Structures are given as C-alpha cells and as structure tokens.
Amino acid sequence: MGPPRIAPQISYLAQQSWNALGELGELVKTASTNRAEFIQECRDGKFEGVVAAYRTFFSFEITGQMDEELVSVLPSSLQYIASCGAGYDQIDVHACSARRPPVRVSNVPTAVDDATADVNMFLILGALRNFNAGMHALRQGKWRGQPAPPLGRDPRGKTLGILGMGGIGRNLQKKAEAFGMKVIYHNRRRLNEELSGGARYVTFDELLSTSDVLSLNLPLNKHTRHIIGKKEFAKMKDGVVVVNTARGAVMDETALVEALENGKVCSAGLDVFEEEPKIHPGLNSNLSVILVPHMGTWTIETFTAMEEWTIENIRLALTTGKLKSPVPEQADF
C-alpha cells in the first residue's frame, strides 16, 4: 500500500513541524479553490490513500460546511480529521461517526482561550465606553462627533454574565475581575468551586435578567443555535451590553438589531456573525456596535499553538491510533 497519505493546508508558522510528518507519510495538498472543485477532486480519486486530513482555519472558505454531502465523498481510506480550532461546528461529527469505518475528529480545545478572552474583554470595554461612535467620527474629521456620543460606563461594579463557562469563559472571568466586574455564569452543568473560581452559578433566566453585560462563550450546535433571540432579549435589563466571541448563530442577529433599535440593548461587541463574511446591515450601520472580523485568535502565538496542536493530533493518530484531543461526541471511540 505504501506510506499513509495526509492532506494539509499549512501556514509557514508551523511548517517545520508539518514537514516532520513527512517522515511518517506522504504529504498531499488540495488544488481546489471552491467546494465544487474539492468534491470533484474527491470523486476523481485524488485523495485515495489519504489517512488523515488537516482542516485548516481557512479551509471553510474553500470547502464550506463539512456536511453529510462532503463526508460522503471523502476517500474511503480517511480515518482522521484534525480541525485547527476550538469550535468544530463546521464539521458534521454525526456523519463522520456514521461512516464505516468511522472518521475520528479532533479539535484544539484550549489553545485559543487566552487570545479569544482578550478580544472578548476588548469588546466589553469598547461597548461599555461607546468607543466605536467616537472612533468613527474621528476618522471622518469630526473629532468625537457632532453631537458627541453619549457618555460611556465604567466596568467596575458591573455584573458580567457569562453564558458558557468553558476555557474561554473562565479566562474571561479573570480578566473581567481585574477590571472590578462581578461575574455570574450559566452552564449546562454547574462547575466545582475550583473551576468556577468563585463565580456564582445562576439559572439561565437569572443570567438574562441580572447581567449588565452578557457575554456569549458557548459552542454552536443544534441546542444552542439562536439561544439568544427576541424572547431572551425581553428578559434582559434595559440598556444591557451584549458581546459575542463564540459563533454568530448562537444569537438571532435580526432580534439583536431590533433590541438595539428599541434601546433594550445599549451597545454590542461582536467578533462573529451569522453569515460570515456577510454582516447584517442593521449592525453595520449602528454606531453603538463595535465589530471585529472574527479575529479572536488572530495572533502569531495563538495561530502557532493551534497549528502545533493540530499537527500533534495527526502525529499521534498515525503513530498510536489515538488522538490527543478527540471531540467530546467521539470521546468513547
């Protein structure tokens, strides 16, 4: 059969580690520029013999969702998909598990925590202080604006509600407390005292009704899609600040625009969007919203750590048959 084949798209940041995998198997790369071309490459048998696929941060722009259609045309030899990111909602894990033999999926669960929480805190501060309106006016040569934007609010003493107290949420808690914020959280399961770091566990409804700032830090799946919508906004404090660095679709953007327009939400900070790279026009035109184009992990250090972790998943898969960090749905495989 010859050596196993591995399909990558690797940046220069971890090229040395990637090249080292060449000692374990042949490295191959897609030439596709879009989904249709990639599907055709698969059907033409270009990747037959490929055992492990490296799904890069940017591969979604080529293949789109790795859904049942895409999984069905992947080579029969494929055993592993190593995804370079904490979120893996772009991969249909159920379809991967249902294949015979199944395709095992891994992600990078913690390497992104610090950088994403940094952006999270940046958005909280920017939204509270109403910086976006001032920065926009400044670039138009109008100094703070005419009229100047409303005065902002200090973080100290405000209650930060974290929905999804995973690694990013717990990292954000420490940063927010350094700014004097009080932290409450809601999770599928209550954390032990050590993991919660003293943050108070509350019900979902209490989180909505008592947070001055609501931060979304939960994964996107069929249970969390639009977990924040019109009904949830109605339960929030008037003038709440909403920040999202998770996935755009955990919140109904149309409902957010409406809540901004009627004053229920005072301001918002967003790093992720429902239909990236498309931005809802009601968000784009609202100067109370600070927007970042999905740059939560956009640092040299974090990208390097993510890629090194993903490469290690592949290396271990090829040498031991086990992944360093299988996704939770396949933990028992």
Question: Could you list the active site residues?
Answer: 247, 276, 294
* Residue 236 near residue 243 (C-beta atoms within 8 A): no
The Cα 13–Cα 119 span in angstroms is 22
User: Which residues have C-beta within 8 Å of that of residue 58, sequence separation ≥ 6?
Assistant: 9
Q: What is the CB neighbour count within 10 angstroms for residue 202? A: 17
Q: What is the CB neighbour count within 10 angstroms for residue 174? A: 14
What Å distances lie between residue 176 and 49, 162, 182, 257, 317, CA to CA?
A: 49, 11, 8, 26, 38
User: Which residues have C-beta within 8 Å of that of residue 215, sequence separation ≥ 6?
Assistant: 120, 124, 160, 161, 162, 163, 169, 172, 243, 244, 245
The single-letter code of the amino acid at 59 is: S
Of 56, 4, 12, whose CA–CA distance to 30 is shortest? Answer: 56
* Residue 71 near residue 38 (C-beta atoms within 8 A): no
* Residue 196 near residue 165 (C-beta atoms within 8 A): yes
Q: How far from the centroid of its chain's Cα atoms is residue 75's Cα? A: 28
What Å distances lie between residue 111 and 279, 296, 314, CA to CA?
A: 27, 12, 16
The Cα 54–Cα 83 span in angstroms is 6
Check residue 66 and report its DSSP letter: B
Burial of residue 101 (CB within 10 Å: 0-12, 13-18, 19+) is exposed
